[in-house]
Amino acid sequence: MKPAVSPRFGGQHGSRSLALQVLLDCQPGQPFAQELLDTAFTTHRAPHAAADRRMATQLVYGVLRRRGTLDALLQPLVSRPQADVEPWLWDILRLGAFQLSLLDHVPLHAAMNETVELAAQFGRPQAKGFINGVLRNFLSLLTDEFGDTPASNALPVEPGRYRRLTRAVLPDPASQRVQYLAGGFSLPSWLVERWLPRLGWDECIRLGFWFAGQAPLWLRVNRLKTNRTDFLAALAGAGLKADVGDNPDAVRLTTPTAIRDLPGYAEGWFSVQDESATNVAAALAPTPGSRVLDLCAAPGGKTTHLAEQMDNRGEIIACDVDERRLQTVRELCSRLGIGIVQTVLLQETQRGRWEAPPAGPFDFILVDVPCSNTGVLGRRPEARWRLKRVDLVQLETLQVRLLRCAAERIRPGGTIVYSTCSIEPGENGQLVRRALQDLPELQLEAEQEQMPGAPADGGYWARLRRK
């Protein structure tokens, strides 16, 4: 049951109210958290709005990343099963627990008092006593001692650092490895069961910390407007620190700043894109004047990178099944000064089936398929809670179908790049090799698999050429 009254964002408790509403709206079938935050920010006009927005973003992403761990710590403190507690009330408990245990910069009184006050803002002031009692009990779990090894009474905080608890709450990492990784790092158990035999304990611990932390902010320099040297100089002139990536267009921002406040945003000097995603369009490397098909284009990061590599000369057909997200592609093209992209909405013809993309032949085709998102669980934390084991089978079927669609439309001698943001072999190299058995006209030229945190997001691409 939803609260009796929706809150009014803004004022003293604006960031927490906003974060709570986004968490409630972040459900399967709904947009990802960042889209929900962007929508909420358009109506959030509280004093110190920039600080409110930073705090709201940190709360939303923090709770989504550590939801499973927070639940494991909270459930023993509540007499009722979680399923019997109203979702908005449980999310308030998560918000409070996250601030108390994992946000060092939030004063204790603010984390307690302002979180408890959310009940009144949501029209249920009678719940304040319950929230206050649970959070005070939660506070009694925490100590100010830290260790460097996992334990059932140790909360993973950051790589190599565990906060000691007053009693054992998490599973024993010695005898219940899957359960500890799932609870301690807030990962679905079935996913850990897949990873542990293949990747090993140490790598799963590393991935757990990577996905539990804030994803780095990578930017891609728009070579139509500027170059990396000049862009870095502009960032330095604004007092912002940044590193370069291995990709010549990649920049990693190390000073937290709102994207729209960065130098050159309105002028289209850059776009937001992780370096691993930047490598995908670079692997396709379309030439100026060529005809390109982007089968799954939205939200447009890779589409616009293709156009930049083509010096904005030629033709790109950008397809997707969501008109709202195609509008995002058009808006990004406009900001970056790109004029060669034509968006095409693929209409659903029957449940789960869409009309065919434009016919070829094309010189280059990008097949950036819908996938499990297992390489970007830090950047898209809600994906870990939406993904189910059965989804992998359905996704692989769709991925093969899209690759076949590309093979039918590429000209002889043309190039296809198949890519995912997954680290599942069944979506990546194994799938490509299975597909090639039925597509003898294609040959594998190169491929790359990127593990999360080395140093960017996880993902995979394979470059195929038609004989």
Note down pLDDT in tens along the chain; length 467 residues.
344 444 443 344 488 999 999 999 998 878 888 888 888 887 655 544 777 888 999 999 999 999 999 999 999 999 999 999 999 999 999 999 999 999 988 889 989 999 999 999 888 999 999 999 999 999 999 999 999 999 999 999 999 999 999 999 999 999 999 999 999 999 999 999 999 999 999 999 999 999 999 889 999 999 999 999 999 999 999 999 999 999 999 999 998 788 988 999 999 999 999 999 999 999 999 999 999 999 999 999 999 999 999 999 999 999 999 999 999 999 999 999 999 999 999 987 766 667 789 998 999 999 999 999 999 999 999 999 999 999 999 999 999 999 999 999 999 999 999 999 999 999 999 999 999 999 999 999 999 999 999 899 999 999 999 99
Handedness of CA 67, 73, 79, 81 (dihedral sign): positive
Backbone dihedral angles phi then psi of residue 290, each to the nearest 5 degrees = -85, 170
CATH of domain 11-212: 1.10.940.10
Q: Determine the Cα–Cα distance for residues 277 and 376; give it in Å rounded to an integer.
A: 11
Specify the pLDDT at position 352: 63
Query: How is residue 389 written in tokens?
Result: 């084991």
Stretch (H or E) spanning 308: helix 301-309
**What CATH superfamily classification does 280-466 receive?**
Vaccinia Virus protein VP39 (3.40.50.150)
> Residue 288 in contact with residue 264, Cβ under 8 Å?
no
Q: What is the pLDDT of residue 347?
A: 84
pTM of the full structure: 0.92
The answer to whether 129 and 89 are in contact (CB under 8 A) is: no
Using CA atoms, how far residue 26 sits from 73, 409, 424, in Å, is 22, 37, 25
Does residue 26 contact residue 70 with C-beta atoms inside 8 Å? no
Q: Which CATH superfamily is domain 217-272 in?
A: Sun protein; domain 3 (3.30.70.1170)
Phi, psi (deg, nearest 5) at residue 285: 50, 60
Q: For residue 172, give the amino acid letter.
A: D
Residue 350, pLDDT score: 66
Q: Which residues of the chain are in CATH 3.40.50.150 domains?
A: 280-466
- Residue 421 is a catalytic residue: yes
- C-alpha to C-alpha distance for 199 and 221, rounded to whole angstroms: 34
Residue ranges matching CATH 1.10.940.10 in the chain:
11-212
From the candidates 204, 296, 371, 421, give the one annotated as an active-site residue.
Answer: 421
Contact 24, 46 (CB under 8 A): no
Please give the Cα distance from 54 to 56 (Å, whole number).
Answer: 6
Direct distance between the N- and C-terminal alpha carbons of the chain, in angstroms, rounded to an integer: 59
Query: Quick one: which of 354, 375, 360 has its CA closest to 317?
Result: 360
Neighbours of 143 (CB within 10 A): 13
d(CA 182, CA 161): 17
How far is it, in rounded angstroms, from Cα 297 to Cα 129?
Answer: 49
Contact 269, 292 (CB under 8 A): no
Position 428: which residue type? N
| Pair 63, 95: CB distance under 8 Å | yes
Q: Which helix (H) or strand (E) holds 364?
A: strand 362-368
Phi first, then psi, for residue 150 (nearest 5°) are: -70, 145
Neighbours of 83 (CB within 10 A): 7
Rg of the chain over all Cα atoms, to the nearest angstrom: 23
All CATH 3.30.70.1170 domain ranges in the chain, comma separated? 217-272
What is the length of the chain? 467
Residue 326 · residue 345 · CB < 8 Å: yes
Is residue 225 within 8 A of residue 260, CB to CB? The reply is no
- The full 3-state SS of 326-348, as one line of letters, equals HHHHHHHHHHHCCCCEEEEECCE
